[in-house]
Structure 1
Amino acid sequence: MATGKITKTAVEGLAIPAEGKRSYLWDATLKGFGVMVTDKGTRSYLIQYRMDGRASKTKRVTIGRHGSPWTAEKARDRAAELLEQVRRGTDPFDAAKAALAAQRREQEEQERERAKLAKLAFSVIAAEYIAASKKTLRRWQEQERIIERDLTPSFGMTPLPSITADAINDCIAKAGERASSAALKAYSALRSIFAYVHNDRQLKRLFPASASPFGDVQRPEGGGRRSDFIANNELRLMWLACDEIGWPFGSMYRLLLLTGLRLREVAEGRWSEIDLDECNWLIPAERMKNGEPHWVALSPPAVEILKSMPRIDKCDLMFSTNGKTPVSGFSRAKSRLDAAMLKIAKQEAEKAGGDPGGITLPAFVVHDTRRTVARGCQIDGASSEVIERMLGHVTHTKSGLKGVYQVFEFEDERRAAFVKWGQRLTAISSGGANVVQLREVAA
C-alpha cells in the first residue's frame, strides 16, 4: 500500500493503473486520508475507516474528484472533519447515504414541481381551453384569436401559478392601448382560462381557485356601456375609419352597414350571388342562419362599393386574400376599426381646438350594425314586416313556388327602404346636420 504526502504534485503524478484496476496513495500524516486513481485517469479523494476496531468492516467515503473545488489542501481538511466524526462515533458513510437520499428526494420533488408547472403552462392550458370550447362555445374562434394576439405574447409558457396580478394588469393595459374593448376582451378571455382550470377536477388540485391572482386585477371598462344602436357620430366615424383600414375589412364593414346582413353572411359572400346590373344579392339557404335563401336589394352606395372591390382571377369569394378561403381575423379587424375611429375623433377634436386626450367612444359590437339598419329604416317609415324581411328574420313555411315568392315578399318596399337607408347613411357619413339621430329616437 503506497503512502506519502498527498499534494497536488503527488496526486497528478500518480500513474494510471492497468485496465480494470485502481491504485491508491494514502497520506503519511493523516491516517485514513487517501486518493484513488482509476484506469480512466480519474483521481478522487476519500477516507477509509472502521467504526468498531479491527474486527469491523472497512468503509470508504468519497470526498470528491481532484480539481476544483477539491484541491489536496481542501480535501485534507474535509478528511480531518470526517475522521473526527468517526472518532466521536458518527459514521460518515451513513451520513453521506442519508444526505444522498435527501438530495434525491429533493430532486424528485423538484421534478414533480417542474412537471406540475409544465402542465399549468399558460400556452398549454390555453390550448386545452380552446379545444374544450370548440364543443361548448359558439364563438371559440374569436377567443382563440384574442389569446394568440393579446395573451400568449405576454405569458407564453409561464405557469399559471407564476402569473401575478401586476403581470395581468400590464397585459390588459397593453391591449387597451389598441382599443378599450380589446382590454375587456383580453380580461374576459384570461379569466375564462383561469376558470377552466378551477373547474377541472385534476387541474384545480394543482392550482386551486384560492391561489388565483384575479382578486387583485381590475376589470377594464371596455369603452363604456354597450348600446344596441350606433349613434350618428359613431356611424360617421366608422364610415371614415373604413377608408383608414382599407380593403378587405373596410369594404366589408360598409356593406354590413348598408345591407343589415350578419358578419359571416358578408365575409363569406360569393360574386356568383351578386347581380350588379339588377342591384340584387341572393344568398343561398346554406349560408343563412335560418337555413333559407335571402334576397337583399343593393342600394346605389352598396353597388358602388362592390364595383370598386378587387377580384381574384377564378375566385368566387368576394373577400379573400389567398383566393382559396374567406378572410378571417375578425377580432383583430374590429380592434383596428375601433382604433381608427378613435384616431379620427382625436384628430377632429385637436383640429377644433379641443383636448384630444379626453376623447372616448361608446363600445359597440359588429352585430349592432343590424340593429342600426333596422332602426334607421324604421325612422324612414318602413314597417316592421318589411324590416324583418330585410334582415332575414322571417322563416318561410311553404315550399315550391309559394316559398320562392316569399323570398321576394315586399320586394318594392324593401328596395325602397334600402335606397332610403343608403341615402341616410351617405348623409350621416358626410356630416349632414339635418339627419335624425338614431339614439334620440331609440331612447
Structure 2
Amino acid sequence: MEAIALPAKGKRNHLWDETLKGFGAMVTHTGVRSYLLQYRMGGRGHPSQTITIGRHGSPWTAEKAREQAADLLELVRKGVDPKASKAEKRQQEEEARRDQNEFAFATYVDTFIHRHAVKKKLRSTPDIEAVFRRDLKPRFGDRSIKALSRSDITKALDEIGDRSGSAANKAHKWLKKMFNFAVERGDLHGSPMDRMRPPHEEQSRERALDDRELRPVWLACEAIGYPFGPFTQLLLLTGQRLREVAGMRWEEFSEDAREWLIPGARTRNKQPHLLPLCELARSILLDIKARGIDSELVFTTNGRTPVSGFSKAKKRIDNYIAERPESVGVVAPWTFHDLRRTTATGCQRLGIPIDHTEALINHTGRRRGIVAVYQLYDYRLEKAVAGQRWAEKVISLVGS
C-alpha cells in the first residue's frame, strides 16, 4: 500500500489485485489510502459500482481487506448488492441509535409526562412521576420501549405487586397510558399491554375512622411533630384533599388566619374554595408560624417544595400507634384519604345538613361565571358552623 505513489492534486492512483478481481487500493493526493472493491450486479452489460472497504491502517490491513472483498463478492454472486446492504446496515444502526436515545424507556417516560400530564395540567402529575421514578425507571432504564414485551411488563408488575398490590395497579395504569400515548403518536405500532388487566383487584374504599380510632391517631401526630403531625391533623379537621393541604401557602390565609382561600389552580373542580377555619385548626397554623420557618409554604422540609413522601409519613404514624399497648387492636388499617371521609361522615352524624357538609369539604361540581364568584361565599356561615362543630367533636374524642 505504501508503495503507491501520490498522484497529482485532485487525482487518485489505484493498484488492483492480480488474483481477486475487483479488489484494489486507492491513494489520494493528500496521502489518504483506502481499500475498495469494484463489482457489477447482473454481470456484463450492467454498470460497475464501487464500495469502499476502509482506510489503510487498524483494523484494515491488505489481508483483512482482501478477505472482506471476497465476502462482498460472494454476496454479489448471491444477488445481494453490497453497497445497498451497507446502506441498509447504516440505516439500521442509525435507527438503533435513535431508539437508544429517543425511545429509551427513561427518556420516553419524561416525554410522556411532559406532553401528556404537564401540558394537560393533570393534578396527578406528581403521583405519575413518583410511580415511574420509584417502580418502573429502575427496572427498564435505557431499554427501548420498542423492545419491551408483554412478558417483561408482567414480570415487573409481579415484582411490584409482591410489595404492594395498589402500587402494581398504579404502575399498570400509567404504563398502559404511556404505551397508548406512544401508539397514538405513531412511535409504536401496537401496545404490549393491549387488553392487559390490572394485576390486582381493587377494593372499594368506604372507610371512615370511628370515634375510638381518632385519639390514637391524633396522639401519634403530636408525637411525630412537624411537618407530618400537624399536616395529618389538618387533614382531619378541614376535610380537604391531601395535596390541597400539603400545598398550603401562607399567602392563602387571611391576616388573622381565620379563613383559608384555596386557589382554583389547586382544587379538583378548578374553582377557588373559601374555608372558614375552626379555632383548633387556626391554633395549629399559628404554632407552625411561630416556628419561624423561612418559606412561603406551610408544610415543607426544604423550604422550596411542598412535603412529599406520604407513605413514609403514614408508616411513622402507624409504627407509633403499634408501639402503644393501649392502641393495639384499636386502629384498623387506614389511609390519608380516609380522613376526608371521616370528616364528612362525622358531620353527618352530628346532624349537619348534607349540602353544608359538601360545601365544607368542597365536594361540588364545576361552576362558571358569576355563579363561580358567588360560590366563594355560598354557605360561608354554614361552613364555619359545621367546621367548628366537627372540631369540637374531635376535641372531645382526643382530649386536646
Q: Same fold (TM over 0.5)?
A: yes
Q: Does 1:131 align with 2:115?
A: yes
Query: CA separation of 1:378/1:58 partners in 2, compared to 1, >3 Å: closer, same or farther?
Result: closer
Instruction: Using the TM superposition, give the Cα deviation of residue 283 of structure 1 relative to its aligned residue in structure 2, in angstroms.
Output: 2.5
**1:74-124 per-position Cα deviation (integer Å, ceiling 9, x unaligned):** 667788999xx8xxxx997x9899211222133234534654675544333
Structure 1 residues 188-239: Cα deviation after superposition (integer angstroms, max 9, x where no partner)? 22222223334x1x426x3313x43774x861456x5423424568756754
For residue 313 of structure 2, the aligned residue among 337, 340, 348 is 337
- Alpha-carbon distance in structure 2 between the residues aligned to 1:383 and 1:44: 90
Q: Structure 2: how far apart are the matches of 1:178 and 1:40?
A: 66
Aligned to 1:431: none
The secondary structure found in structure 2 opposite 1:294 is strand
Which AA in structure 2 matches 1:340?
R
Structure-to-structure mapping, 1:368-383, within 5 angstroms: 368-379=338-349, 381-383=350-352
**Contact 1:44 1:62 survives alignment (8 Å):** yes
Q: 1:25 and 1:180, CA in 2 relative to 1: closer, same or farther beyond 3 A? A: closer
Change in 2 beyond 3 A, CA 1:32/1:370:
closer
The aligned residue for residue 167 of structure 2 is 182
1:415 positional shift: 3.0
2: CA distance between counterparts of 1:292 and 1:70?
74
Structure 1 residues 305-316: aligned runs within 5 Å: 306-308=286-288, 311-312=291-292
Tell me the residue number matched to 1:281.
258
3-state SS of 2:240 partner: coil
Q: Judge conservation of contact 2:275–2:384 (CA < 8 Å) in 1.
A: no
Q: 1:18 to 1:341 in 2, by over 3 A?
A: same
- Which amino acid in 2 is paired with 1:421? V
CA distances 1:156-186 after superposition (whole Å, capped 9, x unpaired): 5533222244544565567668765434323
Consecutive unaligned residues of structure 1, counting only runs of 5 or more, are 1-10, 51-55, 355-359, 428-443
5+ residue gaps, structure 2, are: 41-45
Does 236-245 or 125-134 show the bigger shift?
236-245
SS at match of 2:258: strand
Q: Determine the structure 2 residue equivalent to 1:219.
A: 199
- The residue that corresponds to 1:147 in the other structure is 132
**AA aligned opposite 2:136:** L
Name the counterpart of 1:298: 279
Amino acid at match of 2:189: F
Q: Which residue of 2 aligns with 1:106?
A: 89
Specify whether residues 24 and 409 from structure 1 end up closer, same or farther in structure 2 by C-alpha distance, changes over 3 A only: closer
Taking only aligned residues, the RMSD between alpha carbons, in angstroms, comes to 5.3
Aligned counterparts of 2:48 and 2:358: Cα–Cα separation in 1: 98
Distance, in Å, in 2 between the alignment partners of 1:415 and 1:57 is 94
Q: What is the distance in 1 between the residues matched to 2:272 and 2:50? A: 84
Q: In structure 1, what is the equivalent of residue 43 of structure 2?
A: none
TM-score, with structure 1 as normaliser: 0.61
Could you say what secondary structure the match of 1:408 adopts?
helix
Separation in structure 2 between the aligned mates of residue 161 and residue 282 of structure 1, nearest angstrom: 52
User: What is the identity, as a one-letter code, of the residue corresponding to 1:257?
Assistant: L
1:345-385 per-residue CA deviation (whole Å, 9 max, x = no partner) reads 77679x98x9xxxxx9746452x322202323444x44336
SS at match of 2:277: strand
Pairwise mapping of residues 11-30 of structure 1 onto structure 2 (< 5 A)? 11-12=1-2, 16=6, 19-20=9-10
Identity %: 32
Asked whether the 8 Å contact 2:176–2:193 carries over to 1, the reply is no
Between structure 1 and structure 2, the one with the greater Rg is: 1
* Partners of 2:178 and 2:39 in 1: CA distance: 60
Letter in 1 for 2:260: I
Aligned partners of 2:378, 2:34: CA distance in 1, in Å? 97
Structure 2 counterpart of 1:53: none
Quote the Cα distance in structure 1 between the aligned partners of 2:351 and 2:306.
Answer: 34
The answer for the alignment partner of 2:189 in structure 1 is: 207
The 3 A distance-change label for structure 1 pair 13 and 305 is same
